[in-house]
Structure 1
Amino acid sequence: MATKKNRSLLEIIPKYFTLWVIVFAALALLSPNSFQFLGKYISYLLGVVMLGMGMTLTMGDFAGVLQQPLNVVVGVALQFIIMPLLGFAIATILRLPPELAAGVVLVGCVPSGTASNVMTFIAQGDVALSVTISSITTLIAPFITPYLYLLLGGKFIPVEPLALLIDIAKIVLLPIIIGLVIRQVLGNERARVVNQVMPSVSVIAIVIIIAAVVAGSAAKLVNVAGAVILAVILHNGLGFLMAYFVARYLCRMTEAQARAVSFEVGMQNSGLGAALAMKFLTPVAALPSAIFSVWHNLSGSFLANFWARRAPEPAARLARR
């Protein structure tokens, strides 16, 4: 009976991720002093999330590079072209204050989020392509994100790119490598048991990160909320749209592949964006990442269910470039 209860709890925590985020963000806004101390643990919490990702990865996740190399290259390229440029354009057009503008650009420069794989699955997209793109963008982010941000966001709030590179490597690469090693040591069966727990642990960690960000900028949040929410909605929505049309109509991908690329580009690793903003920028600059985390799960779920009702032809799903 205890096992059933544990399984039920492990299903409930990830299932209602967006609800937990909204509840704890509201609590952090109402009582910031209760959550501000968590800010110093953000990097460690994100490391836990990346550790969980590392434990789920196998060499098979990278097989997509060999099976459809052009689609993988296009997906990775679009991730690091569309979202950074959109972030810069939106921040400029909306004339956001420097702190918010820097945060919008930064969330555009981080890699794709792991939730994109789930949304691709629901939408009957190419899950193998999705997993491959998100894995590769995450692994190469330390070497791309700092210089992309310096190029596009440096005029708002400058940073030292080498320091940013080292920090992303510590937060992202190191935990993923440790996770891969742990998986090898445990073996597939025992790792599978641990991986049943990791989604819930990751959700709890991300919820705490967002609560800490909101608490750290609660005093200014009310004044900038409207601008940040508008920027995030435009950033996410245009990311989905542009990636889909480029993949489907310019690159001639199948419907399933285009859906995967759309989710990979439109959904960001906003937890990483928040952690980097808190350390290298300001608490206010972390707000776009925090709000993005809530919004892209809502919009992603809506889009995934919309596409699920318009399933691609089986032949299209199986097609490979």
Structure 2
Amino acid sequence: MNTVWIVLPILLVLMFQLGLELDRNSFAALLHRPKGVVAGLLGQLVALPLIAFGVGVLFRLEPVLFMGLMLVACSPGGSSSNVFTMLARGDVALSVTLTALSSLITLVTIPLLMEGVARFVALQSDTAIELPVGRLLLQNILLLLLPMLCGALFRSRFPARAQRLHTLLGRVAFPALMLLAALFFVQYARTILENLPALGSASLLLILAAMGAGRLLADGFGLDRTGRRTVVIEVGMQNAAQAIAVASSPLIFNNERMAIPAIVYALVMNVVLLLYLRVLQRGDRLRAGAGR
């Protein structure tokens, strides 16, 4: 069973759901919170790929897994970050803006960055991994841009229905992604378990370092508490479904082994972010108690 036929519908739903959140005011953060937007995009588009590159070299990942880890880092922010931002009492409008902008910008940056990574891998290991840039760009447009635009158009035409549909998809999307991870794990259990010590540690270090970089950027740009939390979550949560789709797609890499880092990352990411929420909630309770 090729899991790409499972991940593609999930990715389409996730991007359509993101489109349902977009309206004329969705990018107001560009004007009202420009520092938050710049901090978040720097974290996602610059800091995260650099951190992933260092982590991959540090753990001496084999070429295919190195490419898979870099693919995760080059992907846009995940739509689940909007939910986590809401639960963390962050700036949801900023979160939606960052997720949407990163999804648009990475249409161009993923092919460019991954082509550079493929060349690096070829030089270091004599392992040639072909990257069809044109087909990658086309697939990203079909799987990311078009469903997001359709979601935004649906919201503009049917706002009440869009709100109900967004709520429904929000309940379905995350379990579907976890189901994908479970199916992928069962199908490639032996390979995943063999590489779990390295990939689990690499994913954990990547997420923690990314969140740390997000916090440093947020502090450097002087963001308030809600802005800091939002940037930390946005930089720490990437669209693992897209990384899986690109790695396993017959049009691009057609290599499900390359998708394994994204599966491990998705599992570790959700555990870390849930723990982060617990820490924030405990801190909020302590502050509330001290303020009485």
Q: TM-score under structure 1 normalisation?
A: 0.80
2:153 aligned to which of 171, 181, 184 = 181
Q: Tell me if 1:256 matches 2:256.
A: no
Deviation at 1:140, TM superposition (A): 1.9
2:246 aligned to which of 276, 283, 286 = 276
Give the residue type in structure 2 aligned to 1:47: L
Query: Does the CA-based 8 Å contact 2:43-2:235 persist in structure 1?
Result: yes
Q: Gaps spanning 5+ residues in structure 1: where?
A: 1-35, 315-321
**Alignment map for 1:75-154 (pairs within 5 Å):** 75-154=40-119
Give the residue type in structure 2 aligned to 1:169: I
1:62 aligned to which of 24, 27, 37 = 27
Give the residue type in structure 2 aligned to 1:149: M
Give the residue type in structure 1 aligned to 2:142: K
Q: Can you list the C-alpha shifts for 1:71-95, whole angstroms capped at 9, x where unaligned?
A: 2122112211111111111111110
Q: 1:59 to 1:153 in 2, by over 3 A?
A: farther
Q: Can you list the C-alpha shifts for 1:171-209, whole angstroms capped at 9, x where unaligned?
A: 110111111222223x22122222221113322432343
Higher mean displacement: 82-91 or 189-198: 189-198
Give the residue type in structure 2 aligned to 1:180: A
Partner Cα separation in structure 2 for residue 153 and residue 84 of structure 1:
14
Q: 1:102 to 1:267 in 2, by over 3 A?
A: same
Q: TM-score under structure 2 normalisation?
A: 0.87
1:223 aligned to which of 180, 194, 199 = 194
Query: Does the CA-based 8 Å contact 1:213-1:286 persist in structure 2?
Result: no
Q: How many residues align?
A: 277
- Corresponding residue of 1:28: none
2:276 aligned to which of 303, 307, 320 = 303
Q: Can you list the C-alpha shifts for 1:224-250, whole angstroms capped at 9, x where unaligned?
A: 1111111110111110011101221x2
**Alignment map for 1:150-229 (pairs within 5 Å):** 150-156=115-121, 157-185=129-157, 187-229=158-200
- Corresponding residue of 2:124: none
**Aligned-residue identity in percent:** 27
2:215 aligned to which of 211, 221, 244 = 244
- Corresponding residue of 1:27: none
Higher mean displacement: 128-137 or 168-177: 128-137
Partner Cα separation in structure 1 for residue 154 and residue 91 of structure 2:
28
Q: Gaps spanning 5+ residues in structure 2: where?
A: 122-128
Deviation at 1:162, TM superposition (A): 2.4
Partner Cα separation in structure 2 for residue 233 and residue 154 of structure 1:
26
Q: 1:40 to 1:117 in 2, by over 3 A?
A: closer
- Corresponding residue of 1:8: none
Q: Tell me if 1:288 matches 2:253.
A: no
Q: CA RMSD in A?
A: 2.1
Partner Cα separation in structure 2 for residue 293 and residue 48 of structure 1:
17
- Corresponding residue of 2:17: 52
Query: Does the CA-based 8 Å contact 1:101-1:153 persist in structure 2?
Result: no
Query: Does the CA-based 8 Å contact 1:49-1:205 persist in structure 2?
Result: no
Higher mean displacement: 187-196 or 80-89: 187-196
Query: Does the CA-based 8 Å contact 2:10-2:241 persist in structure 1?
Result: no
Higher mean displacement: 289-298 or 260-269: 289-298
Deviation at 1:38, TM superposition (A): 4.1
Deviation at 1:104, TM superposition (A): 0.5
Q: 1:278 to 1:125 in 2, by over 3 A?
A: same
- Corresponding residue of 1:317: none
Q: Which secondary structure does the structure 2 equivalent of 1:310 belong to?
A: helix
Q: Which secondary structure does the structure 2 equivalent of 1:214 belong to?
A: helix
